[in-house]
């Protein structure tokens, strides 16, 4: 079901939301947090919902600037404990993807 939902974004599984709806749920949370005048907010989620959100709000070419094969790998590149950074204005009218699925902090230097 997960694979089908990733590729057929409007498909409603028997349990849970479609990919599009799940991404919108995260959009609403981020918009609410932006309106609360926070300088920085950290959200901890599963990679799937991050992928759903990113696909809703950024064009594919933007996502591919960070992960060249994003369209084919989708959430496979959103590793556990990876960091994605999105800068947002209070109304979500301007979003900037600053970092996608960064894992450098997980390795010893």
Write the secondary structure of the chain as one string of H (helix), E (strand) and C (coil). CHHHHHHCCCCCCCCCCCHHHHHHHHHHHHHHHHHCCCCCCCCCCCHHHHHHHHHHHCCHHHHHHHCCCHHHHHHHHCCCCCEEEEEECCCCCCEEEEEEEECHHHCCC
Residue 109 confidence (pLDDT) = 61
Question: Is the model's pLDDT at 92 over the cut of 70?
Answer: no
pLDDT tens across 44-90, in order?
998 889 999 999 999 999 999 999 999 999 889 899 999 999 998 76
- Whether pTM > 0.85 for this model: the answer is yes
């Amino acid at each position: 079901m997960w694979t089908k939902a990733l590729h057929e974004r409007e498909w409603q599984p028997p349990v849970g939301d479609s990919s599009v709806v799940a991404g919108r749920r995260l959009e609403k949370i981020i918009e609410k947090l932006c309106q609360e005048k926070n300088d920085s907010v950290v959200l901890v989620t599963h990679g799937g919902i991050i992928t759903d959100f990113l696909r809703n709000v950024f064009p594919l070419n933007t996502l591919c600037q960070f992960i060249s094969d994003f369209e084919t790998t989708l959430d496979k590149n959103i590793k556990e404990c990876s960091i994605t950074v999105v800068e947002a204005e209070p109304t979500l009218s301007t979003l900037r993807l600053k970092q996608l699925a960064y894992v450098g902090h997980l390795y010893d230097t």
